[in-house]
Amino acid sequence: MKHSVRLIVVSQMVIAACLVVALCTTPFARAKEDLERVVVAPAMSVTLTIPREEPLRIKPLYDRPELVSDEELAAVLGKIIPRFSHVETKPNFVEHALRVWSIDATFSDKEAISGQEMMEFLTNHATYIQSWSKRKNAALLEDRPVGVGVKWGRELGTSVHHDHMLACLSEAGVPLNQPVFTPFGRQMTFRDVLVESIRDFELDERETEWTALGFGLWLPPNKTWMGAEGREYSFDLLAKRLLRGELEKGVCSGTHRVYSLMVLLRLHDEYQILSDEVAKLVYRHLEHVRDLITAAQFEDGHWSSDWKNGKAAVENPKADELKDKVIATGHHLEWLSIAPESLHPPKETIEKAARWCIENTVNKSDKEILDMYTFYSHVGNALSMWRNQRPSDFWRAWEAKNETRSAQR
């Protein structure tokens, strides 16, 4: 793999001064108090080497047509084609769709949004605001003195989780030189989004699942890096943070933590980013998760949000909604697709989970899928990975094959 190495030295004084000039002369300049809020905000310099221009990709390890056939995979992926409203499009939906379909996705369906269009929505404020123009001060991106921030939380029009957009864009294959256009009209790059995320990261944040994933796809073979205030961080620290606390704690019943830990372990196999001690801790933790989900699977193949209780989850079932079952089952299938066989439950356990996901997805209406799009997107991604397929490549080939068949009739 060809790597280009660039040394980034972010200087608060220089960039803040340039920002003042740019914002005072741009037609997009805001009110005086907004300008002061951006420029005066405290920031620290970050020195960082990013050893690549395109993100790493965690490749699936299997091709199991007996688990999901081409026809079944096409039926599931057809359900999660991104057909979103152009009015107040939810960034969280677009992020999930883009991580599955990637930036090169195209569709014959005129109502579908291509990978490039999804990326443009997330990285260009002018495109984003066309969808959110009726909301005062709506913005997904934030101008900051030394980079570009991403607004997240429960506010409408923002990303839902910390560093979720960073991780999703990285999984989708967005390069560092991808232009990013901010609310103040500055042209930055995705590199500025990544460096800002590194600069403002704090180890005790409530959600670190996507930080670990996003950093993992860019920083190896670096094991450590300097954050704000000169503090040194490492993949060991991130892994230990993910191992902390109860299993079900964290987003999506704790399953995102499991996926991120599996990603770190896969990266460690190639780049040795963890110490031997921490790598063993991660592996033992995933062995424990494997044993729990083996015992926690229901007869029909699904897992509940209570999977961390193992056999007790089945003996004393929790009153889960459908979304909780989709979340747990789809997410567990996802991390298992990149896990070595030594971390797999029995073969029949995986087969039952895949069967439940397929039948549950194809039997739902388009509206039902759209209402829970983020959860079903993980199902589509998981099943694609079990076939060692990139969804965009598979779908293009599937459409081409069926067009040929139609023409021959």
Q: Strands 224-226 and 232-234, how do they pair? A: antiparallel
pLDDT value, residue 97: 98
Question: What are the tens digits of pLDDT across the range 52-82?
Answer: 999 999 999 999 999 999 999 999 999 999 9
Residue 249 pLDDT class (50, 70, 90 cuts): low
Band (pLDDT 50/70/90 cuts) for residue 250 is low
HEC states along 189-214?
Answer: EHHHHHHHHHHHCCCCCCCCHHHHHH
* Band (49; pLDDT cuts 50, 70, 90): confident
> Where along the chain do its domains lie?
54-408
- The size of the chain, in residues, is 409
**Top-confidence residue, 308 or 42:** 308
Class of 54-408 per CATH?
mainly alpha
Tell me: the pLDDT tens digits for 204-213? 887 899 999 9
E strand or H helix at 360, and its extent? helix 347-362
Amino acid at 377: S
Q: State how far the Cα of 98 lies from the Cα of 190, in Å rounded to an integer.
A: 15
How many whole angstroms from its chain centre is CA 25? 36
How sure is the predictor about 26, in pLDDT bands with cuts at 50, 70 and 90?
very low
**What CA–CA distance (Å, rounded) separates 192 from 359?**
42
Instruction: Output helix, strand, coil percentages for the chain, rounded to the nearest 5.
Output: 55, 10, 40
The residue whose two tokens read 């740019």 is 22
Going by the DSSP 8-state scheme, the letter that residue 149 receives in this structure is: E
285 with 264: CB under 8 angstroms?
Answer: no
C-alpha distance from residue 193 to each of 85, 149, 150, 175, 227 (Å): 26, 6, 8, 11, 14
pTM, two decimal places: 0.88
Work out the percent of the chain whose per-residue pLDDT is above 90: 76
- pLDDT tens figures, 256-274: 999 999 999 999 999 999 9
Main-chain dihedrals φ then ψ at residue 189, nearest 5 degrees: -135, 170
pLDDT in tens, 108-166: 999 999 999 999 999 999 999 999 998 888 999 999 988 999 999 889 999 988 999 99
Pairing of strands 187-189, 179-181: antiparallel
pLDDT of residue 309: 94
Confidence of residue 228 (pLDDT cuts 50, 70, 90): confident
pLDDT tier for residue 203 given thresholds of 50, 70 and 90: confident
pLDDT reported for residue 20: 42
Based on its alpha-carbon atoms, the radius of gyration of the chain, rounded to whole angstroms, reads 22
Q: Return the ∠ at Cα 69 (arms to 66 and 72), rounded to 5°.
A: 135
Confidence of residue 291 (pLDDT cuts 50, 70, 90): very high
| For residues 282-299, average pLDDT | 97
Percentage with pLDDT > 70 across the chain: 85
| Beta pairing partners, 50 | 6
Nearest to 47 by CA among 231, 272, 202, 236: 231
Q: Average pLDDT over the chain, rounded to whole? A: 87
Q: Whole-angstrom Cα distance, residue 282 to residue 262? A: 8
